[in-house]
A and B are shown apart, each in its own frame.
Chain A
Amino acid sequence: MTARVGVVTFPGSLDDGDAARAVRLAGAEPVRLWHADPQLHGVDAVVLPGGFSYGDYLRCGAIARFAAVMETIVDAARAGLPVLGICNGFQILCEAHLLPGALTRNQHLHFRNRDQVLRIESVGTAWTNAFQPGQEVLIPVKNGEGCYVADAATLDQLEAEGRVVARYVGNPNGSQRDIAAITNAAGNVVGIMPHPEHAVEELTGPSLDGLGFFTSALKHLVGTAA
């Protein structure tokens, strides 16, 4: 059975097409989900793609959090549905309180668009089990508000519980403790600022390293179904 992975489109999403393509290249069936439709149409996992949902009005992700589809996703994520938030999707997961902390304007105020080395630190999540601990991957980063912040107690807790999923090797935006990706306590919800969906084909990406995030979810689903 082919896994069905939902990709949500909000008004202002940009990378939903690439995310759906990455899902397909990883061997799953992408299912397009619409922000105003609360139904998840039986998908096995969900990707919240990058972009500028609702024009980034108020704060990045602040309005998307109240979209009809998000209410369903929040409940499903709490029940164990694998959810990957990429860039704006990470911002939405923080605004929805599925992940702690917040993403703020890059410390140097510049938009950063470059191929970025990341070190995968937690391979116990639904989205990183295909990697080796400490593995370095090359993934494009493109954000203006990607600076991860949280209070010291939250950061310490994330570190102590092994919930820092990936760190920048060469911090592009001032994120605290070089954090590029984190997970929830259960490991099914992951937020990542760089864009694995842009590193899935030789023609268009700097590497194929991004595929690992999507194949991880498939591996996870096979494991949980067994």
Chain B
Amino acid sequence: MPRVVVDVMLKPEILDPQGQAVANALPRLGVEDVASVRIGRRIEIDFIGEPDLNQTREIADKLLANPVIEDFTIRLAEDGETVDAQP
């Protein structure tokens, strides 16, 4: 299935309290060398035919991301990218 991947991240200047909470939990795992954690969202869009990057950009801009606080990147899923793989 032709798949497009959209990554949405909070803009660098927007505080990410969830990321901070995760970073603050890391010492409990014994991890001491992490400076910061930022949490975003990955969206996978499967097209029926050819993947349409322009349409994806519109979807991302109008719905998937809020441009006031978030940036997004879009890309085609790599061949063999094991996005459906079970751990």
> Bound pair: A and B?
yes
A102 partner, pick from B21, B64, B69, beta carbons under 8 A: B69
Chain B residue at minimal CB-CB distance from A108: B17
Residues of A close to B69: CB separation below 8 A: 102, 104, 149
| CB atoms of B15 and A62 under 8 A apart | no
Neighbour of A106 across the interface among B17, B66, B68, CB < 8 A: B17
A59 to B8, CA, bound (A): 12
Number of interface residues of B (CB under 8 A): 11
Question: In the complex, which residues of chain A have a beta carbon less than 8 angstroms from the beta carbon of B66?
Answer: 59, 62, 95, 102
User: Which residue of the partner chain B has the closest CB to A109?
Assistant: B17
Map CB proximity to A onto B45-65 as digits: 1 under 8 Å, 0 otherwise: 000000000000000000110
Inter-chain contacts of A72 with B (CB < 8 A): none
CA distance A100 to B66 in the complex (A): 12
Residue of B14, B21, B63, B64 touching A149 (CB-CB under 8 A): B14
A-side contacts of B73, CB under 8 Å: none
Report yes or no: B17 in contact with A150, Cβ–Cβ below 8 A.
no
Residues in B whose Cβ lies below 8 Å from that of A109? 17-18, 21
Instruction: Answer yes or no: A58 CB below 8 A from chain B CBs.
Output: yes
Q: Is the CB of B68 within 8 A of A150?
A: yes
Cβ contacts A to B, 7 pairs, < 8 Å: A102-B69, A104-B14, A104-B69, A106-B17, A107-B17, A109-B17, A149-B68
Further pairs besides A109-B18, A150-B68: 6, Cβ < 8 Å: A59-B66, A100-B68, A102-B69, A106-B17, A107-B15, A108-B17
State the 4 A-B residue pairs at the shortest beta-carbon distance, nearest first.
A102-B68, A102-B69, A109-B17, A107-B17
Chain B residues packing against A (C-beta within 8 Å): 13-15, 17-18, 21, 63-64, 66, 68-69
